[in-house]
Protein backbone atom coordinates (compact mmCIF):
# COMPACT_ATOMS: atom_id res chain seq x y z
CA UNK A 1 0.00 0.00 0.00
CA UNK A 2 3.03 2.31 -0.29
CA UNK A 3 2.48 4.98 -2.93
CA UNK A 4 3.62 8.43 -3.92
CA UNK A 5 1.89 11.57 -2.73
CA UNK A 6 0.43 12.47 -6.11
CA UNK A 7 -1.55 9.23 -6.39
CA UNK A 8 -2.60 9.37 -2.73
CA UNK A 9 -3.87 12.96 -2.86
CA UNK A 10 -5.59 12.59 -6.26
CA UNK A 11 -8.19 10.37 -4.60
CA UNK A 12 -8.64 12.85 -1.74
CA UNK A 13 -9.02 15.70 -4.23
CA UNK A 14 -11.71 13.82 -6.15
CA UNK A 15 -13.63 12.79 -3.03
CA UNK A 16 -13.50 15.88 -0.79
CA UNK A 17 -11.43 14.71 2.14
CA UNK A 18 -8.00 15.43 3.57
CA UNK A 19 -5.32 12.85 4.27
CA UNK A 20 -3.69 13.32 7.68
CA UNK A 21 0.08 13.80 7.59
CA UNK A 22 1.28 12.81 11.05
CA UNK A 23 4.82 13.79 12.01
CA UNK A 24 6.58 10.92 13.77
CA UNK A 25 9.86 11.13 15.65
CA UNK A 26 10.29 7.68 17.17
CA UNK A 27 9.42 4.07 16.43
CA UNK A 28 6.65 3.81 19.01
CA UNK A 29 4.87 6.83 17.53
CA UNK A 30 5.23 5.33 14.05
CA UNK A 31 3.61 2.06 15.09
CA UNK A 32 0.81 3.90 16.87
CA UNK A 33 0.01 5.93 13.76
CA UNK A 34 -0.05 2.82 11.59
CA UNK A 35 -2.37 1.15 14.13
CA UNK A 36 -4.91 3.97 14.34
CA UNK A 37 -4.89 4.48 10.56
CA UNK A 38 -5.76 0.81 10.08
CA UNK A 39 -8.39 0.90 12.82
CA UNK A 40 -10.04 3.90 11.15
CA UNK A 41 -9.32 2.58 7.62
CA UNK A 42 -7.83 5.93 6.70
CA UNK A 43 -5.05 6.61 4.21
CA UNK A 44 -2.09 8.16 5.97
CA UNK A 45 1.03 10.16 5.30
CA UNK A 46 4.00 9.44 7.53
CA UNK A 47 5.66 12.85 7.68
CA UNK A 48 9.26 13.23 8.80
CA UNK A 49 10.87 16.65 9.12
CA UNK A 50 14.65 17.01 8.58
CA UNK A 51 15.06 17.63 12.34
CA UNK A 52 13.12 14.44 13.03
CA UNK A 53 15.16 12.57 10.43
CA UNK A 54 18.37 13.69 12.11
CA UNK A 55 16.97 12.29 15.37
CA UNK A 56 15.75 8.89 14.15
CA UNK A 57 18.43 8.51 11.46
CA UNK A 58 18.01 7.33 7.88
CA UNK A 59 18.73 3.76 9.06
CA UNK A 60 15.17 3.69 10.43
CA UNK A 61 13.69 4.23 6.96
CA UNK A 62 13.74 0.52 6.01
CA UNK A 63 11.50 -0.13 9.02
CA UNK A 64 9.15 2.69 7.98
CA UNK A 65 9.01 1.29 4.44
CA UNK A 66 8.40 -2.26 5.71
CA UNK A 67 5.57 -0.99 7.90
CA UNK A 68 4.02 0.78 4.91
CA UNK A 69 4.16 -2.40 2.84
CA UNK A 70 2.49 -4.38 5.63
CA UNK A 71 -0.22 -1.78 6.16
CA UNK A 72 -3.77 -2.47 5.02
CA UNK A 73 -4.30 1.22 4.18
CA UNK A 74 -2.58 3.47 1.61
CA UNK A 75 0.63 5.06 2.92
CA UNK A 76 2.95 7.79 1.66
CA UNK A 77 6.30 8.47 3.32
CA UNK A 78 6.87 12.19 3.08
CA UNK A 79 9.76 14.55 3.77
CA UNK A 80 8.23 17.52 5.58
CA UNK A 81 9.69 21.00 4.97
CA UNK A 82 12.82 20.03 3.11
CA UNK A 83 14.88 23.21 2.94
CA UNK A 84 17.24 22.55 0.05
CA UNK A 85 18.25 20.22 -2.77
CA UNK A 86 20.57 18.20 -0.52
CA UNK A 87 17.80 17.35 1.94
CA UNK A 88 15.46 16.40 -0.89
CA UNK A 89 18.08 14.14 -2.46
CA UNK A 90 18.78 12.43 0.86
CA UNK A 91 15.07 11.71 1.26
CA UNK A 92 14.76 10.34 -2.27
CA UNK A 93 17.80 8.13 -1.83
CA UNK A 94 16.54 6.91 1.58
CA UNK A 95 13.18 5.66 0.32
CA UNK A 96 10.72 8.50 0.83
CA UNK A 97 7.95 8.45 -1.77
CA UNK A 98 7.15 12.16 -1.54
CA UNK A 99 9.14 15.26 -0.70
CA UNK A 100 8.29 18.80 0.24
CA UNK A 101 10.66 21.53 -0.82
CA UNK A 102 9.96 24.67 1.17
CA UNK A 103 11.29 27.79 -0.53
CA UNK A 104 8.52 29.97 0.87
CA UNK A 105 10.93 32.32 2.64
CA UNK A 106 12.73 33.04 -0.65
CA UNK A 107 11.79 35.64 -3.25
CA UNK A 108 9.20 34.25 -5.69
CA UNK A 109 11.66 33.61 -8.56
CA UNK A 110 14.12 31.82 -6.28
CA UNK A 111 11.32 29.71 -4.78
CA UNK A 112 10.26 28.74 -8.31
CA UNK A 113 13.81 27.83 -9.35
CA UNK A 114 14.48 25.71 -6.24
CA UNK A 115 11.12 23.95 -6.42
CA UNK A 116 11.37 23.26 -10.15
CA UNK A 117 14.84 21.73 -9.66
CA UNK A 118 13.54 19.30 -7.02
CA UNK A 119 10.46 18.50 -9.12
CA UNK A 120 12.65 17.51 -12.07
CA UNK A 121 14.74 15.21 -9.87
CA UNK A 122 11.79 13.59 -8.08
CA UNK A 123 9.59 13.15 -11.14
CA UNK A 124 12.46 11.40 -12.93
CA UNK A 125 12.17 8.56 -10.40
CA UNK A 126 8.38 8.57 -10.05
CA UNK A 127 8.11 10.52 -6.79
CA UNK A 128 5.92 13.50 -5.98
CA UNK A 129 6.71 17.01 -4.77
CA UNK A 130 4.88 19.48 -2.56
CA UNK A 131 5.81 23.15 -2.83
CA UNK A 132 4.86 26.08 -0.63
CA UNK A 133 3.81 29.62 -1.49
CA UNK A 134 3.23 32.14 1.25
CA UNK A 135 4.47 31.70 4.81
CA UNK A 136 3.07 29.81 7.80
CA UNK A 137 3.31 31.52 11.17
CA UNK A 138 5.05 30.05 14.21
CA UNK A 139 4.10 29.99 17.87
CA UNK A 140 7.48 28.89 19.21
CA UNK A 141 10.95 27.82 18.11
CA UNK A 142 10.24 24.09 18.17
CA UNK A 143 9.74 21.71 15.29
CA UNK A 144 8.92 22.79 11.79
CA UNK A 145 9.72 26.48 12.06
CA UNK A 146 7.72 29.12 10.24
CA UNK A 147 7.76 32.89 9.95
CA UNK A 148 7.09 35.59 12.52
CA UNK A 149 4.62 37.19 10.09
CA UNK A 150 2.16 35.30 7.91
CA UNK A 151 2.35 36.17 4.21
CA UNK A 152 -0.90 34.97 2.68
CA UNK A 153 -0.83 33.04 -0.59
CA UNK A 154 -1.84 35.13 -3.60
CA UNK A 155 -4.22 33.15 -5.88
CA UNK A 156 -2.78 34.52 -9.13
CA UNK A 157 0.78 33.88 -7.96
CA UNK A 158 -0.28 30.36 -7.04
CA UNK A 159 -1.37 29.72 -10.62
CA UNK A 160 1.98 30.95 -11.93
CA UNK A 161 3.91 28.96 -9.31
CA UNK A 162 2.14 25.71 -10.18
CA UNK A 163 2.64 26.29 -13.90
CA UNK A 164 6.33 27.18 -13.55
CA UNK A 165 7.30 24.39 -11.14
CA UNK A 166 5.10 21.40 -11.98
CA UNK A 167 4.43 20.63 -8.30
CA UNK A 168 1.97 17.87 -7.47
CA UNK A 169 0.51 19.65 -4.43
CA UNK A 170 0.73 23.12 -2.95
CA UNK A 171 0.98 24.21 0.68
CA UNK A 172 -0.92 27.46 1.09
CA UNK A 173 -0.84 30.18 3.73
CA UNK A 174 -4.36 31.05 4.85
CA UNK A 175 -3.73 31.91 8.50
CA UNK A 176 -2.32 28.87 10.31
CA UNK A 177 0.83 28.72 12.44
CA UNK A 178 3.13 25.92 13.53
CA UNK A 179 2.96 25.00 17.20
CA UNK A 180 0.33 25.41 19.92
CA UNK A 181 -1.62 28.66 20.09
CA UNK A 182 -1.65 30.45 23.48
CA UNK A 183 -5.02 30.57 25.23
CA UNK A 184 -5.21 34.31 24.58
CA UNK A 185 -5.03 33.89 20.80
CA UNK A 186 -7.86 32.77 18.55
CA UNK A 187 -6.65 31.64 15.11
CA UNK A 188 -8.82 32.49 12.15
CA UNK A 189 -8.46 30.98 8.70
CA UNK A 190 -9.19 32.93 5.52
CA UNK A 191 -11.51 30.36 3.98
CA UNK A 192 -12.59 32.76 1.24
CA UNK A 193 -8.97 33.00 0.13
CA UNK A 194 -8.72 29.21 0.11
CA UNK A 195 -11.75 29.00 -2.18
CA UNK A 196 -10.10 31.41 -4.62
CA UNK A 197 -6.84 29.45 -4.68
CA UNK A 198 -8.63 26.14 -5.22
CA UNK A 199 -10.79 27.54 -8.01
CA UNK A 200 -7.74 28.81 -9.86
CA UNK A 201 -5.34 25.86 -9.35
CA UNK A 202 -7.58 22.75 -8.97
CA UNK A 203 -4.54 21.13 -7.34
CA UNK A 204 -4.48 19.15 -4.07
CA UNK A 205 -3.88 21.86 -1.46
CA UNK A 206 -2.04 21.40 1.82
CA UNK A 207 -2.59 22.99 5.22
CA UNK A 208 0.42 23.23 7.51
CA UNK A 209 0.14 24.24 11.14
CA UNK A 210 -3.03 22.17 11.48
CA UNK A 211 -2.66 21.54 15.22
CA UNK A 212 -4.71 23.42 17.81
CA UNK A 213 -7.03 25.12 15.30
CA UNK A 214 -10.82 25.26 15.88
CA UNK A 215 -12.47 22.12 14.52
CA UNK A 216 -15.11 24.04 12.57
CA UNK A 217 -12.45 25.97 10.65
CA UNK A 218 -10.50 22.83 9.82
CA UNK A 219 -13.68 21.08 8.64
CA UNK A 220 -14.50 24.16 6.55
CA UNK A 221 -11.04 24.08 4.98
CA UNK A 222 -11.52 20.43 4.00
CA UNK A 223 -14.85 21.21 2.37
CA UNK A 224 -13.20 24.02 0.39
CA UNK A 225 -10.36 21.98 -1.08
CA UNK A 226 -7.66 21.15 1.48
CA UNK A 227 -6.55 17.56 0.78
CA UNK A 228 -3.61 17.13 3.18
CA UNK A 229 -3.30 18.46 6.72
CA UNK A 230 -0.11 18.28 8.73
CA UNK A 231 -0.45 17.36 12.39
CA UNK A 232 2.64 17.40 14.58
CA UNK A 233 2.19 19.36 17.81
CA UNK A 234 -1.18 17.90 18.80
CA UNK A 235 -0.10 14.26 18.68
CA UNK A 236 3.26 15.00 20.32
CA UNK A 237 1.57 16.89 23.18
CA UNK A 238 -0.78 13.95 23.76
CA UNK A 239 2.07 11.44 23.59
CA UNK A 240 4.48 13.26 25.89
CA UNK A 241 1.89 14.52 28.36
CA UNK A 242 0.90 10.92 29.10
CA UNK A 243 4.56 9.92 29.21
CA UNK A 244 5.26 12.59 31.84
CA UNK A 245 2.39 11.19 33.90
CA UNK A 246 3.86 7.71 33.66
CA UNK A 247 7.34 8.91 34.58
CA UNK A 248 6.01 10.59 37.73
CA UNK A 249 6.29 7.09 39.18
CA UNK A 250 10.02 6.86 39.91
CA UNK A 251 9.92 3.07 39.68
CA UNK A 252 8.91 3.18 36.01
CA UNK A 253 11.85 2.24 33.80
CA UNK A 254 10.75 -0.26 31.13
CA UNK A 255 9.74 1.32 27.80
CA UNK A 256 7.16 -1.41 27.23
CA UNK A 257 5.41 -0.22 30.38
CA UNK A 258 5.85 3.52 29.87
CA UNK A 259 5.15 3.86 26.15
CA UNK A 260 1.92 1.88 25.52
CA UNK A 261 -0.26 4.34 27.50
CA UNK A 262 1.48 7.21 25.69
CA UNK A 263 0.74 5.60 22.32
CA UNK A 264 -2.88 5.07 23.36
CA UNK A 265 -3.24 8.76 24.25
CA UNK A 266 -1.71 9.80 20.94
CA UNK A 267 -4.06 7.47 19.05
CA UNK A 268 -7.10 9.16 20.61
CA UNK A 269 -5.93 12.52 19.26
CA UNK A 270 -5.03 11.04 15.87
CA UNK A 271 -8.44 9.36 15.58
CA UNK A 272 -10.19 12.67 16.22
CA UNK A 273 -8.16 14.27 13.42
CA UNK A 274 -8.94 11.45 11.01
CA UNK A 275 -12.66 11.90 11.65
CA UNK A 276 -12.41 15.69 11.38
CA UNK A 277 -10.64 15.43 8.03
CA UNK A 278 -13.40 13.11 6.71
CA UNK A 279 -10.73 10.47 6.07
CA UNK A 280 -12.19 7.57 8.07
CA UNK A 281 -13.14 4.68 5.81
CA UNK A 282 -11.61 6.31 2.75
CA UNK A 283 -8.97 3.56 2.33
CA UNK A 284 -11.70 1.67 0.45
CA UNK A 285 -11.51 4.22 -2.37
CA UNK A 286 -7.98 3.14 -3.36
Active site amino acids: 80
d(CA 234, CA 175): 18
Burial of residue 111 (CB within 10 Å: 0-12, 13-18, 19+) is buried
Q: Per residue, what are the HEC states of the chain?
A: CECCHHHHHHHHHHHCCCEEEEECCCHHHHHHHHHHHHHHCCCEEEEECHHHHHHHCHHHHHHHHHHHHHCCCCEEEEEEEECCHHHHHHHHHHCCCEEEECCCCCCHHHHHHHHHHHHHHHHHCCCEEEEEECECEECCCCCCCCECCCECCCHHHHHHHHHHHCCCEEEECCCCEECCCCCCCCCCCCHHHHHHHHHHHCCCEEECCCCCCCHHHHHHHHHCCEEEEEECHHHHHHHHHHHHHHHCCCCCCCHHHHHHHHHHHHHHHHHHHHHHCCCCCHHHHC
Q: What are phi and psi of 79, to 5 degrees?
A: -80, 120
Amino acid sequence: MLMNGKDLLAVANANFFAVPAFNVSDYAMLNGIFEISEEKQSPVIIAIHPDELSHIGVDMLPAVIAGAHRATVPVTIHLDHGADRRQALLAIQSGFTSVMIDGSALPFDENVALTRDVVEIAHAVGLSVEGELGTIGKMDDYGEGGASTIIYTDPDQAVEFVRATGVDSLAVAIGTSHGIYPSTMKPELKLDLLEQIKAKTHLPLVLHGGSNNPDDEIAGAVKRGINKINISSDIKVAYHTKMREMLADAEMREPNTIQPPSIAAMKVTAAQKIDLFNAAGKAALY
